[in-house]
């Protein structure tokens, strides 16, 4: 991810700002505030603003005037209890705002989480940059034969090279045609002063889904954790998962007690159905349980065996 001199100057100016406040601030998050974390080839994510910390969650749960005499260890224990038992409203007391630059097809996945305030860069008013996502070689995979929305084996040799050539050629050609229809250079000057350009809101439809867009995305902590639990999962599409992983590092800086509870009870945990739990109980009792007699489908059985570290069973 290469930032322009103007963008670097803007970030430096933002980081030089200082404000006196009585509100809670988090030194670890303040340290990285406004700083972009690179994601994919041209993308990034950065924290623009936030409200609250781990203490705000505890305060809301106890409906107290402040931290009182409770110790940090007790606060962390309460947060772990709240996460473990899936309480939500105390975590809604904290909010965070991200600035994200991402490919359009990733944005269309992301926007399915309808629990945030979003303001996206508008190609009706501005010209999109000539930046498009091209997968790294190790992410150029064939369609999975077992999962209709997943990837299979990584493409190799001439086949991989051909696909990359197509992606680059199509992306470059589409942008050239986009600029031609606009009759507009990157600096806003006309390519051909004697010709009228097509309206931006129409010309943009020629661009493919791998072009980059940007938005501000503001959400509360409860909904952020839900987003991260789905999008940082190993089954999530790689291109959105890497954004979630970058945001998890920011979560750790912001609310470390919540982060640890989230890792322990969500990311690193597994949920068992009633039938799965009964099967585990039978196994612990010494029964030689087989899939056919377990009451579980073959897929459920495979998932349970994976959780238990027994392969396909």
Six token digits for residue 2: 């290469």
Catalytic residue chosen out of the listed positions 231, 241, 299, 310: 231
User: In angstroms, rounded to a whole number, what is the distance separating the alpha carbons of residues 235 and 18?
Assistant: 41
Is 231 a residue of the active site? yes
Chain centroid to CA 101: 11
Interatomic CA distance for residues 288 and 284, integer angstroms: 10
| Exposure b/e, 144-166, CB count within 10 A at least 16 = b | eeeeeeeeeeebeeeebeeebee
What string of DSSP letters covers the chain? ----HHHHHHHHHHHH-----SS---HHHHHHTTPPEEETTTEEEEEEEEE--HHHHHHHHHT-SS-TT--HHHHHHHHHHHHHTT--GGGGG-EEEEEEEEEHHHHHHHTT--SSEEEE--TTTSPPPS-B----GGG-EEEPSS-TTSEEEEP-HHHHHHHHHHHHHHHHHHHHHHHHHHTB-TTS-BSSTTSPPPPHHHHGGGS-TTBEEEEEEEEEHHHHHHHHHHHSSTTS-HHHHHHHHHHHHHHHHH-HHHHHHHIIIIIT-----HHHHHHHHHHHTT----GGGTT--HHHHHHHHHHTT-TT-
Q: Please give the Cα distance from 167 to 159 (Å, whole number).
A: 13
Catalytic residues: 231
């Amino acid at each position: 991810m290469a930032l322009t001199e103007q963008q670097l100057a803007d970030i430096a100016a933002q980081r030089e700002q200082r404000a006196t406040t009585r509100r809670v601030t988090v030194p670890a998050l303040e340290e990285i505030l406004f700083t972009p974390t690179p994601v994919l080839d041209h993308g990034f994510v950065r924290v623009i603003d936030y409200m609250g910390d781990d203490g705000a969650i505890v305060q809301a749960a106890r409906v107290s005037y402040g931290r009182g005499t409770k110790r940090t260890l007790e606060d962390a224990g309460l947060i772990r209890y709240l996460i473990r038992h899936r309480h939500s409203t105390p975590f809604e007391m904290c909010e965070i705002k991200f600035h994200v630059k991402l490919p359009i097809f990733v944005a269309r996945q992301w926007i399915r989480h309808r629990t945030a305030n979003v303001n996206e860069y508008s190609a009706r008013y501005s010209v999109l940059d000539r930046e498009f996502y091209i997968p790294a070689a190790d992410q150029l995979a064939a369609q999975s034969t077992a999962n209709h929305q997943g990837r299979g084996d990584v493409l190799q040799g001439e086949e991989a090279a051909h696909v990359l050539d197509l992606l680059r050629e199509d992306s470059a050609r589409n942008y050239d045609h986009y600029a031609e229809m606009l009759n507009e250079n990157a600096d806003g000057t006309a390519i051909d002063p004697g010709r009228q350009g097509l309206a931006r809101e129409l010309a943009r439809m020629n661009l493919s889904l791998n072009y980059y867009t940007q938005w501000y995305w503001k959400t509360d902590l409860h909904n952020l954790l839900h987003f991260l639990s789905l999008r940082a999962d190993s089954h999530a599409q790689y291109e959105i998962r890497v954004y979630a992983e970058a945001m998890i590092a920011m979560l750790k800086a912001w609310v470390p007690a919540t982060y640890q509870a989230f890792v322990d009870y969500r990311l690193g945990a597994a949920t068992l159905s009633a039938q799965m739990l009964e099967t585990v109980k039978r196994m612990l009792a010494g029964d030689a349980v087989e899939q056919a007699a377990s009451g579980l489908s073959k897929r459920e059985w495979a998932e349970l065996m994976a959780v238990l570290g027994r392969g396909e069973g």
